[in-house]
Amino acid sequence: MIYGYVRVSTKDQNEDRQLLALHELGISPKNIYIDKQSGKDFERPAYKNLIRRLKQEDALYIKSIDRLGRNYDEILEQWRMLTKELKIDIVVLDMPLLDTRRGKDLIGTFLSDVVLQLLSFVAENERANIRQRQTEGISAAKARGVRFGRPPLPLPDNFEHLCNCWRSGLISGSEAARQCNMPLSTFRYKADRYSPTAG
């Protein structure tokens, strides 16, 4: 049997490019499994169902190698499990060298494994570079004075009065926080930093 697997990282991403490639190969729609899951937790119900269906000598088609895992180790582990334990063939459409149907001899297997490890490393390295660029971009933006997160809500008009009442012991912190419509911890935090000129 021939199967296809499609994964997109978010529900907003479009899987059409991957689906089109699989349909062009004549893979039956009922044999194509699709996950729209974040790579973060990698809970992939369709992939798990697919694994249960696969039998020895079946073939699994994927558009690119990173559909198998989030990182270098996970991709290698999935490849090993699929090819060595389940004994199925994998065809990676974006990388013709990664086609286990060809070169079943020792040299073919060796070349496939080398290419896989190299590609997995490159994919992992690119993800690390993206994270580093994001971190550097955020740091540069903060240095320019860009603020992240929600802007703080304005203090209520009676905040200064309630602060003074709380500090002089006329009302409790809980009562002051209630009248300000904020949690006690927030009230105390803002009261500690409040000055009439800043408020």
Which residues are catalytic, by number? 9
- In DSSP terms, 3 is beta-bridged to 60
At 148, give phi and psi (nearest 5°): -105, 155
| CB neighbour list of residue 194: distance below 8 Å, 6 or more residues apart | 155, 159, 160, 163
Q: Which residue has the tokens 């689906």?
A: 19
DSSP state string for the chain: -EEEEEEESSTTS--HHHHHHHHHTT--GGGEEEEE--TTT---HHHHHHHHH--TT-EEEESSGGGS-SSHHHHHHHHHIIIIIS--EEEETT-TT-BTTS--SHHHHHHHHHHHHHHHHHHHHHHHHHHHHHHHHHHHHHHTT---SPPPPPPPTTHHHHHHHHHTTSS-HHHHHHHHTS-HHHHHHHHHH--TTT-
